[in-house]
Structure 1
Amino acid sequence: MAGTPFKVGDRITLKKKHPCGGFDWEVYRIGADIGLKCLKCERRMMLSRRDAERRTVERVEASGD
């Protein structure tokens, strides 16, 4: 499978900002859809894997602790 290999705990920056003003999200669920949590207001949302890959500008991998 080609594309961005998302992992739980990764922090990503999306192209468009959330209504609260935040751009940064944390991945909390992986599957057919990617579960994201806004790091500013703690709101959660789901994006299809395709949309998440397309909208991602930057990804910081989760630490391996």
Structure 2
Amino acid sequence: MYQLGSFVEMKKPHACVIKSTGKKANKFEVIRLGADIKIRCSNCDHVVMMSRHDFERKMQQVLPSET
């Protein structure tokens, strides 16, 4: 399960990655939880806000923590 500060992998990569590096980096950090979820792209720091329902549908997996 995801929590505040977790890194998640989304089904589709963020548009910035295709233009700048050509890689499929779709890693996002969860920065707000509630009825809406706010995530930040780990490549360009762009913030995306979506409903919890949309987030759970578009999320592929929770990435293991790097500790």
Normalised to the residue count of structure 1, the TM-score between the two structures is: 0.80
Gaps of 5+ in 2: 18-24
% identity of equivalent residues: 33
Runs of at least 4 residues off by over 3 Å: none
Match of 2:55 among 49, 52, 56: 52
Secondary structure at the aligned position of 1:53 is classed as helix
Gaps of 5+ in 1: none
The structure richer in helix per residue is: 2
Normalised to the residue count of structure 2, the TM-score between the two structures is: 0.78
Mapped to 1, the partners of 2:2 and 2:54 lie a distance apart of 13
Number of equivalences: 60
Deviations 1:13-50 (A, max 9, x none): 00111111230000000111001000000110101101
The Cα RMSD (Å) is: 1.8
